[in-house]
Structure 1
Amino acid sequence: MTSYLGVIGGSGLYQIDGLQHPEWVTVDTPWGAPSDQILTGMLGDTYMAFLPRHGRGHVHSPSTVPYRANIDALKRIGATDIVSVSACGSFREDMAPGDFVIVDQFIDRTFAREKSFFGQGCVAHVSVAHPTCPRLGAACAEAARAAGVTVHDSGTYLAMEGPQFSTLAESKMYRDSWGADVIGMTNMPEAKLAREAELCYASVAMITDYDSWHPDHGEVDVTQIIATLLGNAGKARDMVARLPALLGSEDRGPCQHGCDRALEHAILTAPDARDPALVARLDAVAGRVL
């Protein structure tokens, strides 16, 4: 399989440096319109697609991001690897504002979002025990370090619904009782949907603040977050620009972690009982097994 890198940019990351032959393209999906058009082009010998998660101008809140349409659109245009870049708060003293965390686990506390491509008429259960791709995460870590970033190679991301920030009581609970390392609002159900779409997925969380638990930093302030975001954005663009050389453009074969075969035994509905309308909507996401 030849790599085609998709990047979902969160708050602060709205462009890709060095993209050759850039073109904004409109992608229609059975799940509605994605957050924005997709910027396509080449980085070196690697095909690349960039999707601003909140849309240009930041028009989508975390709850209104069309997650299913975003993942479908990237899969539909040929993406094999998805790197998610997002802002987050930190629950750990040693994970400081300006650091990047390569997320490898999630606690999903969102409740107002569609979380699966499947449902009545075509039921499927994929494993998200290990929800990110180690190969892709390792490449992101190496690229970020080369860009001069302090990188933490693993971390648990608490996904909250938002759009409000945590209460002090919630922040302390997530940190002390639940063992979360960072907190954000957008990586779920994104990671789950990427797994259903058989895409390799890595999450790079850019720390902007210490949430509200830290006794010396007080409550989260948007102006503080924006100031840190501006510093992080250039590093994130540098990281992304280094990924094609690390991932390579040649055929790499099947994902050694099975990300591209997540649906192999996941669909439970018998073929003659499947809803044809839902099956039609799954053409890009699950066409390999349907």
Structure 2
Amino acid sequence: MIVAGPEAAAQQCDARLLPVASTLRLDYDPFALARTTGRWSFDVESRSDQPCEVDLALVDDQHLGRADIAIDPSGVVIGIQAAPGDATPVPTASAGVWRVRLPPGRRTRLSLDATVTTDGVAPAGESATDLSLELRAPGSVVATGTALPVRIVLATVPRAQMNIVGAAGTFGEGASVTRVDFGVLETGAQRRVFLQVRANGRARLSIASANGGYLMRTDHAASEAGVPYQAAFDGRAVDLARGWAEEFEPPASLAGASMPLDLTLGTVGPRPAGSYSDLLTIELSAL
């Protein structure tokens, strides 16, 4: 005789999240090419006597599942995904919800990875997003037990970069310039280069002349006068005699800004033949 009846109910999990330090920190360089990642590990204890499944839900203060976190207004996006551990949670159809099978009667170490999936020029300092991790019965939207607070911190280092190029353009475009050639020296001759600058906050630009604003002849005598010249950065006079520095804030973008540096010869007059030069030291530093 065959007796038919309802299928046995699925094993319900008696499980809990164990308290653990819950800050996931990403040290981020907005201009680095390497992908920024971080990992957070935690334990789930099953008190069931059979293997069972639970859902892990990472939710915001509106109780919405979060698998992507946008850091406003920089445009940086952090993606969250399950990582290998004692078991590997599997994504469900719901954002920020993973399902995992727990062995009976013991703790299981699980991990989540955070990865910067979309880069942007985040301001220097820390940006934090507070979420909660909860356990749910499979397919449920109701938490079972106490949730764990999770703070995801994007810690952005102060950064400033500069290129010197011969033509205006976005950062990284154009051939670098290390030498400005006036050819045969003539009074009033001008040359222009561009400083491609970008930073994620205020920056300091300094310009120093080894000869105090003069082109000096190679192997010149101690009493020999040089050829004076002037410099202007983005239309503003640069004091080459005493050194010059300015603080400013470039656009917060990967393209940065292209700013002109103009060099103009003063009176040349009669001079001994030879090669005349000066060394300009140009530095950009983050503040």
TM range (shorter): under 0.3
What TM-score do the two structures reach when normalised by structure 2?
Answer: 0.22
Q: Which is richer in strand?
A: 2
- Tell me: higher relative CO, structure 1 or 2? Use CA pairs within 8 A at least 6 residues apart: 1
What TM-score do the two structures reach when normalised by structure 1?
Answer: 0.22
Report the structure number with the largest CA radius of gyration: 2
